[in-house]
Structure 1
Amino acid sequence: MNQYDATERTFAALPPARGKAFALTSWGRAWLKSLEDAALDAQQVKTGRRLARAGAVGAVSVRPGRITAVVQDRDGTAHRADVLLEELSGEQWDRFLEMAVERAGHVAALLDRDMPPHLVEDAAAAGVELLPGMGDLEPTCDCGAWDHCGHTAALCYQVARLLDEDPFVLLLVRGRGERDLLDDLQTRGAAPAEAIAEAPSDPEGVDASEAYAAGDILPALPDPPEFPAKPGLPPALDTEAPPAPGVDAAALEFLAARTAVAAHRLLAEALRAGVSQEEPTVDQDAVRLAAGSPVRHLRDRLAQGTGRDPRELASAVRAWEYGGVAGLSVLEEEWAVEGETLARARAALEAAWDDAERPTLRAQANRWTVVGSPAQLRLGRDGRWWPYRREDGRWVPAGCGDQDPATALAATEATPAEDAC
């Protein structure tokens, strides 16, 4: 960031995004969905994605109602691109602020320059839509295009990256700078505390109905604590007492730890309303267990139980870590791509690269191998492309699945990720 004031912020040009997704947060994904759903020419959207990935978008200026940047074509021609988004009205901002001060957790997070995860949903319930909907992003560009061109699309992709790093960008383009917003929250949030301070005390107590009727002088209850990023650790079984005959203490500790992990996953899925998860088979669940086991002899037992050698189990574990059931299915299943699915796959491969950059691919079933390179793309039944790399004579997973084949293939040249997708 190069500049910041109440009405405008300017962000330095970001480096190329090869091998990375453009939007990791709900804010960024909603922004791109508005672009992709409304654009009349899907090819222009793909061109913009390639320009943004190549680092062709210059410094981005964000101010109420407008985002601006200079975008360079591959031939070096520069174009000024603007994307307009309607500002919230004064009445909408009042509703938003009233909603925020009613939730102590929102106020605390905003004053700490953080964006509460449920702010968008709560604002929408109050009748204030923060995220753009279909057709809300209005493009203008000096190239003369009347709809989204490659330049405005590239700017939108770059803004998605900015939103991942700083969601306050969205509030600014909606019309309220960060400093003004925080000042308003502090001013409005002082009212409940003052009311409490001025309320008369009664050492003898009051009737319950009177106390309930005066409840509006109290601040709202805080939001529940944040969902833990990692599951808790179970107690260790390393005691002086020897285990009973036939009891493997290391295996018992491992199962207790994996139970905590499974409970954490189930709770996370329950909190994500409407998101369904495919249940693993017994064989797949053995791979899941192996993915969490640091104990060598336990992995050997799981490998034996699933009919895999240690190297095969290691590949399966890596596939699980990258994509769970879907990632493991791509490793183990080879299927014929036909009809409409094949047409969509070919169109995605055609649009993913410029002619000069497009790799030569040899297709077999759902697998496209890069000729002359130890790299391969596999198409999953979910429509995502999964990168594979040739290591020691066998194909092993190299990264997370992605809707864009170019992004997926770039992962074959990167250092394997340590975290799950």
Structure 2
Amino acid sequence: MSYVSRTGSAPRVFPQLPTHSTPHAPFATSWWGNAWITALEETSMDAARLSRGRAYAREGSVDTITITPGRIVAYVHGSRPRPYRAEIRLRTLTPQDWDHFLDAVAADPAHIAALLDKDMPQALVQASERSEVQLLPCTGDLIPSCSCPDHGRPCKHAAALAYQTARLLDADPFVLLYLRGGEEADLLDELARRNARRAAAPEGEALPASVMGPGPGVPAREALTTEYRPALPPPLPPPPHPGEPPLLPDVPGAPAPASLEFLATDAAARAHAYLTKGTDPFAVTSPWHDAVRLAASHPGLTGRRTFSRQFAELARAVDRTPTGLSRAAAAWRQGGEEGLSTLETPWDPPAGPFDRARGALIAADLPRMTIRRNHLTNAAGSLQLRFGRDARWYPYRSEPGAEDWWPEGEADEDPVGALTGMLGS
């Protein structure tokens, strides 16, 4: 028995669709709706007309849509008061095409269930294509026309109609079958007959090739998917600085807000470092180093003479005084691990840049310095440069004669730059 399509069927009328709520959201969310849009866009040679057509569709300029087998018609409001009549044509399937398609659907109860659920699995379309039945339109299959004076294929009015049609296909794949010449009720009746005939067939009877499942190597997720999800947008660039935590309420029985803000600040700093550098710059070697890093990265914990309760607790946790931790945090901010090492570990640098530093300072008319291991100190005992193992100079300052040295200013490969930077600050 051969299924015969109804090319003279009564038209289906769809009321005007509402405006698109999200400006840049895709018109189709199903993969078959997007196949329709692809066929439209690959037919067009003018991206500007397509862009204007998308805008018309999003603005709700497409009036009531009337669909008959092989034809879509609607009035589209443009820049002039009188709307234009836009039309899109699509070839209907032959009776032989429908026989092959229905065999492919009836071969798998899941295909029937999907159609009843208004879905169109890719496995079904692939089975149909193996039977040489092209259900979805290809490039050039959609033939647009319009009453406007623009002879583009498509013009912006026909393009708007095609985009709105994709939304109809999303909601009901039977709209596409109807466009191809198939009535939903007749198709379902014919599928029921063929399904019953298959169930009554003698065991072992050979099945036509069109009813075989997806070919080898097709992932089940891809074969059975019915939803189209556009590619994710590219990630936003990282901000120039880590964010700050929100103000948290002080709730009885809950952790102290200051402690939570401290942890959140540290997490934001680590995340920002991963985003900007691709590695963890906070890979510390000991609890002491980790405490110094935390103290250096939290703006509320630093100081020289007054310390918050959280800062004192952090120092006590690593058996140090708050002043010692604050000094170490300043060194960490100055140069990270190398800055802390320069604070804590004097060493004897080899001959070379270190020996030439005093001459460079004198030539720049800066204070004369005395040498002690890797330290250069002025006569008043208030300014000092420390030469690090990374060949940078770290500036320090103290009250004259107090030997209470604190890192101050930025490290520099040039001793003159390091000292003048500290003097300028």
TM-score of the pair, normalised by structure 2:
0.47
Higher relative contact order (CA 8 A, sep 6+): 1
Which protein shows a greater Rg? 2
